[in-house]
Amino acid sequence: MPLRHNLNLLAKKPLILLIVITGGFFSLSILAFLGYLSVAYKSFYVPSGSMEPTLKINDRLLANRLAYDSRLPQRGDIIVFEITEALRKRNFQGTFLGRVVGLPEDKIELKEGKVYVNNTVLTENYLQEKETEIFCLPEDRPYLTQPVVIPENSYLVLGDNRDNSYDGRCWGVVPEEKIIGKIVFRYFPFKRFGSLNEK
């Protein structure tokens, strides 16, 4: 092999090595990012109209499962959660979603179609209707027939469509350990594609 050809091959080796290393690093970065997404986010769909007009039937959503690793749920967050013991006793399965209205140790009261938190009416511009009728099953003993104080490490979760929502008014609170994550994004339908982080 001529000496000139050997020199050309040696000159190209660092460039080839750099391309291989860069390609490998890029591939590993993509895999790591996809792995993070699979851990941090989970897809859900909306099966009912209980959260209208914010969420509509068959909306596809992403929940951030790490959202509450460093902070607690806030009033106004839309969360997805595993069924509670009260819901299990009513033969429900799967997951529920709704909006956090009551925080631990809040005093909550329904009065004249409005939600009161610590004796102050809660402003809820996201509601489908201004009335707050309790939509419960015949066997339920509604949770909010009188003022209640939310227990520690628990949250009161209601639907935005109060006239057609089977929510915490009927069966009680969601323990913190049942919360899967915070709904942060709608990816379908495309005409309503976007973030749901706004309060």
Q: Which residues of 34-59 are buried (b: 16+ CB within 10 A; e: fewer)?
A: eeeeeeebbebebebbbbbebbeeeb
Handedness of CA 122, 125, 131, 133 (dihedral sign): negative
Q: Which of 43, 47, 40 is nearest to 62 (CA)?
A: 43
Whether 50 is catalytic: yes
Q: Which residue has the tokens 């997951």?
A: 95
Cα 158-188-63 angle, rounded to 5 deg: 50
d(CA 199, CA 97): 16
Cα-based distances in Å from 41 to 33, 38, 68, 72, 146:
12, 6, 12, 18, 37
Burial class (CB in 10 A: 0-12, 13-18, 19+), 28: exposed
Amino acid at 85: E
Among residues 27, 38, 43, 50, the one annotated as catalytic is 50
Q: Give the active site residues.
A: 50
